[in-house]
Structure 1
Amino acid sequence: MSWDLVDTVVLDVDTERGRVVIKAAGPHNHHIGREITAYQGFTDCLARRGHAAQLLHHDRDANLLVIQHLRGSLAQGSDAESTPDTYWQAGRLARAFHGQAHHIDHHWDAAAVAKSHAWLDKPHRIEPQVTARLRTILTGHQSRPVTVVPTHGDWQPRNWLVDGGTVKVIDFGRFAWRPSASEFCRLAAQQWRQDPSLEDAFFAGYGGDPRSPEQWRMLALHEAIGTAVWAFQVGDVPFENQGHRMLADALALF
């Protein structure tokens, strides 16, 4: 079940103890370690009601984990991707995941700016004048302490399964402590952009919209830069094109 864009291998395996998913990656891949951390301390709020898998085995040194197989079909590409109830459920699950803990991080904001500068130092196809404007915004940003929560990092229909109308969540390989609003960037750039009613349904499930305009525009900018550059590096042209559109949308917020 691999995406074949990076060195992560995902296998759907039948065993004597039932069906499982095995994920493994090379020594320089950090996603398996992040996913292990998520499963060890933060997914129980979803897994105990069947909305996420249980961790069965793991080996950080080998960059390998084994999890319970979840029934269901990907929301992406199905009718569920355009169904408001899918987003209402996803909003409730996101709120449960984010609501487990929080703390003030005095360094996250500055680190996000540094990371965006680092992305722009890598090969990409962002126009020079756009790159110059991005760097001007990043350099001029006044970093400040932010509240961070446990986040999935890729909360969108390609990581949601739907089983008999019930939404489940997969792939915690981008797990990290971030501002809660960062979880909404990919949805805002994709499904919500096409149908605002899906955004309304999501926040109805989430219990309100926590975004502030100033924080949101910087989060959207960071996400757009990372998308455009990363997609170019792995050769995913459609996703790269989305990244360039995200850049235009993010810059329009300034």
Structure 2
Amino acid sequence: MPLNPEQQQLVDQWLPGACIVADLSWGLVDTTVLHLRWAKGEVIVKAAGPKNHHLWREITGHLEFTAPWLSEGRVGRLLRHNRDLNVLVLEYLPGVLADGTSAATDPETHRQAGALLAALHRQASRIDDQYETQMDARALRWLDGDHRIDPRTEARVREVIAGHDRPPAVLVPTHGDWQPRNWLVDGGCVLVIDLGRADWRPALTDLARLSRQQWDGRTDLEAAFLAGYGADPREPGAWRRTLLREAIGTACWAYQVGDEPFEQQGHRMLLQCLAMAP
């Protein structure tokens, strides 16, 4: 999605004379990501449509969560933002995306990622009595929408959700999509991008995608990550609930945006979760 006229006018005011170096947009959702160069250097511009909540989360994440990363130069600084128009400007970070390179399966990358995540999580915490109930309700809304989950599997998933415990949860600042596609590596140093899913959640939720992707069959990566993190936050019951919700969201969201490989991953995750169910 290109910038709409109002967004383009605002970016022109913020960054006069800027030119596009690269379009980094994924093309699956209505988020535009542009690498721009202007008189004062290079920046990243992100913009989205009015119903896209990821930019709001990213702005909030940068304003409220990133202090420990900024102090070490591990995340781009938020330079400009406008919530009304859903557009922001970030400091450009050098480096190569870890995803798809040897860095994605390098224990040192995962050790640094664990340490970075620990710094994010330990900033603050709060208790939420309704978190588990709300997350189960969200999972059921996914199942009520469009998807290609087998009816038998769906029925079993609904049965498992109905039997969930829903204790009070400890929430911390989380990234929400913690995996190599959101890590840059520059001279061996791991940097962080994309806070579009930043929110208050249980700490263990930030380990879910890694556990079903990079750590599958790679206990060395998991061990390196936990060494950097300093502990293992995964209480078994909460972990099973988290993985099931993650699998549902993956299968349904990927189907709705047309990402078939990611959708198939979601279906595999569902079967793994049902095998873990009590």
TM range (shorter): over 0.9
- Give the match for residue 165 of structure 1: 188
Greater than 6 Å deviation, 4+ residue runs: none
* Mapped pair 1:78 → 2:101: yes
Deviations 1:162-215 (A, max 9, x none): 000000010000011000000011000100003111000000000011111111
* Mapped pair 1:197 → 2:186: no
Match of 1:43 among 66, 69, 78: 66
**Which has the higher Rg, Structure 1 or Structure 2?**
2
Letter in 2 for 1:4: G
Identity score, percent: 53
Match of 2:243 among 195, 200, 220: 220
Letter in 2 for 1:89: Q
Q: How far apart, in 2, do the equivalents of 1:199 and 1:142 lie?
A: 27
- Give the match for residue 81 of structure 2: 58
Letter in 1 for 2:194: D
- Give the match for residue 11 of structure 1: 34
- Give the match for residue 128 of structure 2: 105
Gaps of at least 5 residues in structure 2 are 1-23
Q: How far apart, in 2, do the equivalents of 1:148 and 1:218 lie?
A: 15
Deviations 1:3-32 (A, max 9, x none): 100000000000111100000000000000
- Give the match for residue 129 of structure 1: 152
Q: How far apart, in 2, do the equivalents of 1:194 and 1:162 lie?
A: 23
Q: How far apart, in 2, do the equivalents of 1:93 and 1:191 lie?
A: 17
* Mapped pair 1:237 → 2:248: no
Q: How far apart, in 1, do the equivalents of 2:177 and 2:123 lie?
A: 18
What's the Cα RMSD here?
A: 0.6
Gaps of at least 5 residues in structure 1 are none
Letter in 1 for 2:192: V
Letter in 1 for 2:33: V
Q: How far apart, in 1, do the equivalents of 2:273 and 2:26 lie?
A: 27
Q: How far apart, in 2, do the equivalents of 1:138 and 1:228 lie?
A: 16
* Mapped pair 1:155 → 2:178: yes
Deviation of 1:253 after TM superposition, in Å, equals 1.0
Q: How far apart, in 2, do the equivalents of 1:46 and 1:177 lie?
A: 17
Q: How far apart, in 1, do the equivalents of 2:47 and 2:124 lie?
A: 29
Q: How far apart, in 1, do the equivalents of 2:215 and 2:187 lie?
A: 23
Letter in 2 for 1:73: V
- Tell me how many residue pairs correspond in the alignment: 254
Letter in 2 for 1:123: D
SS at match of 2:255: helix
